[in-house]
Amino acid sequence: MTAREDFITRFGGVFEHSPWIAERAFDAGTVIEPLTASGVHRTLTAQFRAATPEEQLGVLRAHPDLAGKLAIAGELTEDSRKEQAGAGLDRLSTEEHARFTALNTAYVEKFGFPFIIAVKGLTKDDILAAFEMRIGNSREQEFETAKAQVERIARLRLEAQLPGDANA
């Protein structure tokens, strides 16, 4: 396996189902050894931010609904499954699940992409409160907020894989 293939294999899923970000980061020559969470995050995030709005939207749309049909069917990526389970989204009551489903539907209808939040350290109540607040945002506000959350999720995933560094 080449260095490029190894990098893409390791980090291609950091931004949900978007290996093109890792491909572009490697091809740009911005990957710096030794690999650290902050260094890889910087290079991947630069490519995400340089992408077209359509490409960024594709990354947002690659994220699953919180506590949605993919979770029920057991079809989340391993990272998404662990993240949602850590916030208790795999243990919702019938009423809580109905509330998440209604909010997911309304959110996607309004914004055209799923609600995205870095769930690490949050409870289901924290997530519901953010959901209910953010659904009132404009599309522009929410597009920026969702992109920032995607970057935060990427950072948390990288921190689980790599050491940090003094420049973090």
Residue 59: φ, ψ to 5°? -65, -45
Could you report the per-residue pLDDT of 129-167, keeping only the tens digit for each?
A: 999 999 999 999 999 999 999 999 999 999 999 976 654
Please, what sign has the CA dihedral across residues 13, 119, 116, 35?
A: negative
Structure tokens at 48: 């995400």
- Average pLDDT, whole number, for the chain? 90
Residue 30 scores a pLDDT above 90: yes
pLDDT the model gives residue 168: 46
Worst-scoring range by mean pLDDT, 30-44, 55-69, 105-119? 55-69
Q: 4-13, 81-90, 115-124 — which is least confidently predicted? A: 81-90
Peptide bond into 34 cis (omega under 30): yes
Predicted pLDDT at 28? 97
| Annotated catalytic residue within 17, 41, 63, 97 | 63
Separation CA 68–CA 70 (nearest Å) = 6
41 carries an active-site annotation: no
Q: Residues with Cβ < 8 Å from 43, sequence gap 6 or more?
A: 25, 28, 30, 31, 32
148-167 in b/e form (b: 16+ CB < 10 A) is ebbbebbbbbbbeebeeeee
| Coil/strand/helix, residue 168 | coil
**For the chain, which domains are there?**
64-146 (1.10.3330.10)
Global pTM?
Answer: 0.89
d(CA 86, CA 71) in angstroms, rounded, equals: 13
